[in-house]
C-alpha cells in the first residue's frame, strides 16, 4: 500500500520546540521519530526505535553531536550510525548497527520531515511567523469544522474572522498537531489574542469530538 503523503513534507514541530541538546518524540505517516538537535544546532529525525532492544530513542538524551539511548547508552550519529557501545568501550561498532534517518528541513521557524523523497522543498510560509504548537485531541476535519474553514494544500487554515491568524495542521496517530502562525510584525497584544483564540478553538473542536465519540 502506498504510504500516505509519500513524496511530501510533514510539519512536526516549531524550531523553538527543539533547543540544542534536546530530543522530542514526533510522528509522520512514515512512523514514529526521535527528533533531536545536536549541541551545534543540527536537527536530525531518527527512527524512534533503538536497534539494540527496541527502546524508544525519544526517551534518550543528546550529548554533543550524538543521540544516546536511555537503556544501555548506545549512541547514534546524525547520519544514523552507531558510534559508541558503553559496555564495549574499545569496540568500533559495525556499520550494520544503525537507525534510519529521514531528511529534515528547517524553514521559517518550522521543522519539516520528508516522507519518502519529495521532489520539492517544504512549503514556504514567509508571510507568517510561528507562535506556538499545540496538541489537539481530535481530527483535522473536526478542527476545520470548528474553524469554519478548510486547510489548503499546505495544510494551512486561515481563520475567516481573524485572517491574520493561520493554523498549520498535521494529522498525528491519535491527535492533530496545530502550529499557530500569525502575520509578521503583529503587536504583543495580538499575539496574546491569537493564543487565546486557538485555545478556544481547541476546546470547541475537542468538545465536538467527545460528543460525536459519545
User: Is 69 a binder of ligand FES (CB under 6 A)?
Assistant: yes
What's the min distance (Å) between Cβ of 49 and ligand FES? Answer: 9
Rounded Cα–Cα distance for residues 90 and 87 (Å)? 9
State the cell numbers at 18: 527543539
Comparison of 53 and 121: residue with beta carbon closer to ligand FES: 53
CA distances from 169 to 28, 87, 95, 100, 176 (A): 12, 43, 37, 25, 7
- Out of 24, 55, 83, 141, name the contact with ligand FES by CB under 6 A: 55
Comparison of 5 and 73: residue with beta carbon closer to ligand FES: 73
What's the min distance (Å) between Cβ of 83 and ligand FES? Answer: 12
What's the min distance (Å) between Cβ of 26 and ligand FES? Answer: 19
Residue position matching grid coordinates 550510525: 81
Using the contact rule CB under 6 A, the part of the chain among 14-22, 69-77, 133-141, 178-186 near ligand FES is 69-77
- Out of 53, 121, 184, 210, name the contact with ligand FES by CB under 6 A: 53
Rounded Cα–Cα distance for residues 168 and 48 (Å)? 24
Using the contact rule CB under 6 A, the part of the chain among 15-23, 47-55, 134-142, 181-189 near ligand FES is 47-55
Q: Which of 50, 15, 19, 47 is nearest to 34 (CA)?
A: 47
Return the sign of the alpha-carbon dihedral for residues 132, 34, 23, 56: positive
User: Is 52 a binder of ligand FES (CB under 6 A)?
Assistant: yes
What's the min distance (Å) between Cβ of 12 and ligand FES? Answer: 22
Taking each helix axis from N to C terminus, what angle separates 140-147 and 188-213, rounded to the nearest 10 degrees? Answer: 120
Q: Are 39 and 62 in contact (CB under 8 A)?
A: yes
Residue ranges in contact with ligand FES by CB under 6 A? 50, 52-53, 55, 69, 71-74
Amino acid at each position: 500500500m502506498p504510504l500516505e503523503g509519500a513524496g511530501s513534507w510533514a510539519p512536526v514541530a516549531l524550531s523553538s520546540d527543539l533547543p540544542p541538546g534536546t530530543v522530542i518524540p514526533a510522528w509522520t505517516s512514515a512512523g514514529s521519530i526521535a527528533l533531536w538537535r545536536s549541541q551545534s544546532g543540527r536537527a536530525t529525525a531518527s527512527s524512534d526505535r533503538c536497534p539494540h532492544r527496541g527502546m524508544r530513542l525519544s526517551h534518550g538524551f543528546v550529548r554533543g553531536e550524538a543521540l544516546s539511548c536511555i537503556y544501555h547508552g548506545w549512541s547514534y550519529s546524525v547520519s544514523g550510525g552507531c558510534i559508541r557501545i558503553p559496555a564495549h568501550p574499545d569496540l568500533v561498532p559495525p556499520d550494520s548497527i544503525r537507525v534510519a534517518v529521514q531528511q529534515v528541513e528547517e524553514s521559517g521557524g518550522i521543522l519539516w520531515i520528508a516522507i519518502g523523497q519529495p521532489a520539492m522543498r517544504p512549503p514556504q510560509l514567509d508571510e507568517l511567523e510561528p507562535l506556538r504548537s499545540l496538541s489537539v485531541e481530535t481530527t483535522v476535519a473536526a478542527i476545520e469544522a470548528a474553524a469554519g474553514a478548510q486547510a489548503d494544500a499546505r495544510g494551512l487554515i486561515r481563520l475567516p474572522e481573524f485572517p491574520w491568524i493561520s493554523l498549520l495542521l498535521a494529522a498525528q496517530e491519535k491527535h492533530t498537531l496545530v502550529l499557530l502562525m500569525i502575520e509578521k510584525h503583529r503587536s504583543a497584544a495580538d499575539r496574546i489574542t491569537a493564543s487565546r483564540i486557538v485555545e478556544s478553538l481547541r476546546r470547541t473542536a475537542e468538545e465536538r469530538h467527545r460528543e460525536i465519540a459519545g
